[in-house]
Amino acid sequence: MKARIKYFWTVFLFIFLSGCGATTDFISHPASSITSRQSDLYTVTLIMAAVIFVIVEGGIIISVTRFRRRKGDTSEPRQNHGNVPLEIIWTAIPLVLVITLFVFTFNTMNAIAAPQPSPNDLKVNVVGHQWWWEFDYPDLGITTADELVIPVDTPVQITLTSGDVVHSFWIPQLAGKTDAVPGQVNHMWINANQPGTFEGQCSEFCGIEHALMRERVVSVSQSDFQAWVSQQQSLPAAPQTDLEKQGQKLVASGVCAACHTINGTNAKAKIGPNLTHLFSRSTFAGASFPLTDANLTSWLKDNQTMKPGNLMGIKVSDSQLGAILAYLKTLK
Ligand code: CUA
């Protein structure tokens, strides 16, 4: 029996907590017009369910205590079969409840449907890769990774696909999940009604590092967004010191260029994340690690220990590490 109870709680906690680890829930912290409406619907449903629970469970408790069979009592309980008013009542009440929920749900679905596309919308093409997200802003000529920067209170029209296997794009505080499927384009829209950083997580099992395939949406004011756009559209400052220049040679003409793009250099490959403005981001490798000197050093020296199975697999030797790190830090 004890083992069974333990098993029940393990399964319950697994279901209850799965998918919630890295992210903030949308019910108590909605940050978009979509999740605000979903949170309202959840609250209405929860209150209705709670009232029904108290009434039904209360009725059961009263019945089994007040009307239980007493010692020596062998008579049949009073039978209510065929009581027309009772039959009508317990048919009508659930009907009203279900209709109420239907109306609330229908209204919510209408309210969160994608708005008619407008020229003011931000368009982003999102591509899932094992195990990071590519964000391409077709109208702005910007390609970045892992952190999607958007202006506050602006509809963002997203097209979603995958470069390899099925992934699923999910920022709980902003919108529900949409699959990224290879060879197919899916559409979704998001918006943020407040500035902030909103954590997300790939929510379709996509291989060994599925758990370290995270993403963030960074919502900023209109003016901060314009500043971010001009920064992303310009080239990073040219390397100044000898160490930085040496690092640029190693990165842009060496093995790194086989996978990465750095605008303004010979590195033009699109297998890995675009590094042009790497240090304008605060995380890397699928938004899995804070972008610090220590983490980037560990990554360059032995990324297979940090994120086993990732496709980079390159080990940078100690003699090249200082120069490469110095150069990468100029990519702002
Ligand atoms: Cu990508 Cu899970």
Per-residue pLDDT of the chain (332 residues; tens, 9 = 90+): 566 666 666 555 555 555 445 567 888 899 999 999 999 999 999 999 999 999 999 999 999 999 888 888 888 888 878 889 999 998 999 999 999 999 999 999 999 998 888 888 999 999 999 999 999 999 999 999 999 999 999 999 999 999 999 999 999 999 999 999 999 999 999 999 999 999 999 999 999 999 999 999 999 999 999 999 999 999 999 999 999 999 999 988 888 998 999 998 988 889 999 999 999 999 999 999 999 999 999 999 999 999 999 999 888 888 888 999 999 999 99
213 in contact with ligand 1, CB cutoff 6 A: yes
288: buried, middle or exposed (CB in 10 Å: 19+, 13-18, 0-12)?
buried
Q: Which residues contact 218 (CB under 8 A, 6 or more apart)?
A: 147, 148, 149, 150, 196, 197, 198
Ligand 1 atom at shortest distance from the alpha carbon of 166: 1
- Say if CB 102 and CB 117 are below 8 A apart: no
Q: What is the pLDDT of residue 139?
A: 95
Q: Which residues contact 143 (CB under 8 A, 6 or more apart)?
A: 134, 135, 136, 137, 261, 274, 276
Q: The whole model's pTM is what?
A: 0.84
DSSP character at residue 188: E
Buried/exposed 138-147: b ≥16 CB within 10 Å, e otherwise: eeeebbbbbb
List, in sequence order, every beta strand (DSSP E) within the chain: 122-129, 132-137, 142-145, 147-151, 156-162, 167-169, 178-180, 186-190, 196-201, 214-220, 283-284, 289-290
Q: What is the pLDDT of residue 253?
A: 87
Q: Rounded to the nearest 5°, which phi and psi values hold at 269?
A: -80, 155
CA distance 284 to 277: 12
- Say if CB 330 and CB 237 are below 8 A apart: yes
| C-alpha 131 to ligand 1 mean position (Å) | 6
Q: What is the pLDDT of residue 154?
A: 95
204 in contact with ligand 1, CB cutoff 6 A: yes
In 3D space, the residue among 177, 175, 174, 225 whose CA is nearest the CA of residue 197 turns out to be: 174
Q: What is the pLDDT of residue 289?
A: 95
H or E element, residue 16: helix 2-17
Ligand 1 atom at shortest distance from the alpha carbon of 204: 2
Q: What is the pLDDT of residue 70?
A: 87
167 in contact with ligand 1, CB cutoff 6 A: yes
210 in contact with ligand 1, CB cutoff 6 A: yes
Q: What is the pLDDT of residue 12?
A: 57
202 in contact with ligand 1, CB cutoff 6 A: yes
